[in-house]
Chain A
């Protein structure tokens, strides 16, 4: 019954590497989101997309980019990974403003 799937549960990358985090949803939702979750800071919005090829910056977009070539897939890209990007990354989708998010299981990224 998994509806939002993140490709990796755990990932270890080296500083300076380009990192791709993939998220796929099967609910035909228009809206998709990337958050990072850090202890004491809650969930902070990195980027979101309300349609194919559309993207909007969230609260903390620096060092990240996104891609949405198909409705069901939303990718988060770390152009040059740094240690301060070590975090839990959560993808979510939402049909419209009438309901809540459905989250993926998360990707715990460690940058060494």
Chain B
């Protein structure tokens, strides 16, 4: 089955810096890669996703890149703000409509 590795497990940045979270996947048949943000005590929320026929997607301060050949994808957050502090999960579509998730990255943005 699909296996998703996510790094780093924790990331501390200063407000205004950029943050990058990286994920690798194992199943070359995977074709959908969402990212979720989970604030403390809240449900995970979809923030951006990308499909395998696209190399990059942007939405304001967040962007996701996908390298199908290398089987890795990354989340980029620019001009980070304290409200970006949360746990971020990457995921890959693993068949049967299921998603396999990475273990998460705790992002802390200090003012």
Tell me if A105 and B89 are in contact (CB < 8 A): no
Given contacts A50-B96, A100-B34, contact A106 B46 (CB under 8 A): no
Q: B53 near A: Cβ within 8 Å?
A: no
Q: Give the distance in Å from the alpha carbon of A82 to the alpha carbon of B98 in the complex.
A: 26
Chain A residues near B102 (CB, 8 Å)?
A: 42
Q: Is the interface of B mostly helix, strand, loop or mixed?
A: strand
Smallest CB separation, B44 vs chain A (Å): 5
Smallest CB separation, A84 vs chain B (Å): 19
Chain B residues near A31 (CB, 8 Å)?
A: 97
Q: Give the distance in Å from the alpha carbon of A106 to the alpha carbon of B87 in the complex.
A: 15
Q: Is the interface of A mostly helix, strand, loop or mixed?
A: loop
A-B contact count (CB 8 A): 55
Chain A residues near B22 (CB, 8 Å)?
A: none
Given contacts A42-B89, A42-B103, A90-B43, contact A96 B97 (CB under 8 A): yes
Chain B residues near A41 (CB, 8 Å)?
A: 103
Tell me if B44 and A90 are in contact (CB < 8 A): yes
Can you give 29 contacting A-B residue pairs, CB < 8 Å? A31-B97, A41-B103, A42-B101, A42-B102, A42-B103, A42-B104, A43-B89, A48-B96, A48-B97, A48-B98, A50-B96, A50-B97, A58-B98, A59-B1, A90-B43, A90-B44, A96-B97, A97-B93, A98-B32, A100-B36, A100-B46, A100-B91, A100-B99, A101-B44, A101-B99, A102-B46, A103-B43, A103-B44, A105-B42
Across the A-B interface, the 9 shortest Cβ-Cβ residue pairs: A42-B103, A100-B46, A100-B34, A103-B43, A43-B101, A31-B97, A42-B101, A103-B44, A105-B43
